[in-house]
Structure 1
Amino acid sequence: MARHYITTPISPEQAKAIRSGDEVYITGTIYTARDAAHKRMVEDLAAGRPLPFDPRGAVIYYVGPTPPKPGQVLGSAGPTTSYRMDKYTPTMLQQGVKAVIGKGYRGPEVKAALVANGAVYLAATGGAGALLAKRIEEAEVIAYEDLGPEAIRRLRVKDFPAVCINDAHGGDQYRDGQSEWVAPDAMVKPK
């Protein structure tokens, strides 16, 4: 397992070099979007409207951060459950997004889309939202402000930590990690 320090936007070569189980530290711009924002983005694309950010090489973080306290850039910013974005993720990857960050399993359609589009699914540590927020240096709402915490934000991050779960080659850390350490009859099956 390797460690990658990446500055956004992520190139196709960088995305393909990341393997399941690798540590990834992201510096630069990432965008926040949860289910409501993804639904709107896909609707916008279907209507011929552009996305609110350039998706080429972009990173989307599945998070609905809490409001900042005085002196904070953003409140707690822990990952949300990723499978809620599964029906939208293939479309976003086709637009050029190279990494998505969340927590939990992804469905087979998303795993296939990651391979087809040379992208990766990264996991951030659930329950560590306050610590993850310390890696965020700037935050600005750029679209869908009416969605409140689910509005799309542009974040500037420094060494934002994540682990690659699904890579562009079909690697799956949840599957492979369990097969290495857990008896087959005790393995957790994705929903």
Structure 2
Amino acid sequence: MKRADVEELFRRLRELDPKPTTELEYDTPFQLLIAVILSAQATDVGVNKATRKLYPKAGTPQAILKLGEDGLKRYINTIGLFNAKAKNVIATCRILIEQHDGEVPRDRAALEALPGVGRKTANVVLNTAFGEPTIAVDTHIFRVSNRTGLAPGKTVHAVEQKLLKVVPKEFMQDAHHWLILHGRYVCKARKPDCPHCVLADLCRFKSKTKADA
């Protein structure tokens, strides 16, 4: 995609949504971290339903650690892979307390050292909680980047590296959320809504859908 088209793409997304953010509900960097850990292979809606009950009772690493693994499971058992996630969350809370004074570190290496936290989760926390210009490539961003021609790549890491190069600096902070939301609601996996897409004329996707008759 030409640089002028890239700039136009993000101008249009910004015009639609000037202040995009995650759909996960949280009040602190810690709550965002836990929500993102829980969101792996789960929907934001499902995670929010669980954390709305969990956080008023246990919204800090100390409080969740006090719940224990079995106590935590009672709050998150509607989320996929909840057994493994409960184990990771408890271990993460313990490390945060013992090594980081109960605070979420603003450091990629320290974040990725936490159980259940990979590069994508670390990027989400760095971008959303701490305002770092990072891009966490999930399935939505991977799909949009490849379909549009914005940053084609065969792996999420390749797409991430291309996005970091091609996204103009003025759009970098919010690019992560714009691309996720566009993939979630417009450039959907099975049937992208090309007729109502504001990026259709810029997009390189050859199999564009047509408006229903």
Higher relative contact order (CA 8 A, sep 6+): 1
The TM-score with structure 1 as length reference comes to 0.25
Larger radius of gyration: 2
Q: TM-score, normalised by structure 2?
A: 0.23
Structure with bigger helix share is 2
Indicate the structure with greater strand content. Answer: 1
